[in-house]
Amino acid sequence: MKRESRKMKTNKRSLAGLGLALGLAVAALPSAQAALQGRDLDPAKAGFEAYYDTELNISWLADFGAVRSFDPDGRMSWEGAQSWIAQLNSQSLYGFNNWRLPKVTPVNGKAFRYGNSNNGSTDYGVAATGQGWGKASEMGHLYYVTLGNKGYCTPTAAGNDACVIQPGWEEKNFGPFTGLSTYVFWSGTEVPNRSNQAWYFYAYYGNQYYQSKDQQYSALAVRDGDVLAQPVPEPKGALLMFGGLLALAAVVRRKTGAR
């Protein structure tokens, strides 16, 4: 039986190293990239028009400033935001007529809790990175979980209304979304027994509050489910990185086979 040469052993170690590098590269991809999958709804234009949120099973309109086509400054009352959504649906934007504003449901699954908390244990206040209000708040989940942002106040186990400013809270990640011109967005959820109030999310501080419907805030559009049956290719940067590693692995294999 032939003994392996030193070069063959070295090449095998190189292949193993490349395999490890590929695995680490996959694991190192941002979690936001894993949860948000780009959807090309207009082939005539570059980029993605929507992002499918695999955790919430909803699709976000990619342009956070899209509402400016309805109102130039991008701010409107809650009723105005509903009118914008109605316009999108009447136009069947990208072939869909079921766009809506993001929703808020009780974090305890039963009834809204209006006491202020710093850890997302009530529906009012700020929450913890990686947790938010779970899936009860779609905008909160995007902000705290998918994009990994911090709230203004440091979360505590007690979850009271104490607010110690959290280091790094002002460093914001809005991922692949574009057109951001304001941080305050209406939800589509009214406050029970308060017909003149609705929930909103303040993406600068990470606050979820409710306010009178005549306040002037911006709006985001989402729809339930995936806007495409098939996912589009991964971002080019990731493909180039993996392609380079695979090509290098192929070269090493050829050299190994030639020995």
Quote the pLDDT of residue 228: 86
Cα 162 off chain centre by: 28
Instruction: For 87-137, write each residue's pLDDT tens digit.
Output: 999 999 999 999 999 999 999 999 999 999 999 999 999 999 999 999 999
Q: Evaluate if residue 180 carries a pLDDT over 80.
A: yes
Of 77-91, 178-192, 216-230, 233-247, give the lowest mean pLDDT range.
233-247
In this structure, are residues 135 and 120 in contact, taking their beta carbons and an 8 Å threshold? no
pTM for the predicted model, two decimal places:
0.77
Task: Give me the pLDDT at residue 230, please.
Answer: 47
Residues in Cβ contact with 102 at an 8 Å cutoff, skipping those fewer than 6 apart: 138, 139, 185, 187, 188, 201, 220, 222
CB distance 123 to 133 below 8 Å: yes
More confident residue, 43 or 22: 43
Sheet holding 116-117, edge to edge: 116-117, 124-125, 207-212, 194-202, 184-191
Look at residue 125 in the predicted model and tell me its pLDDT: 98
- The one-letter code for the residue type at 58 is I
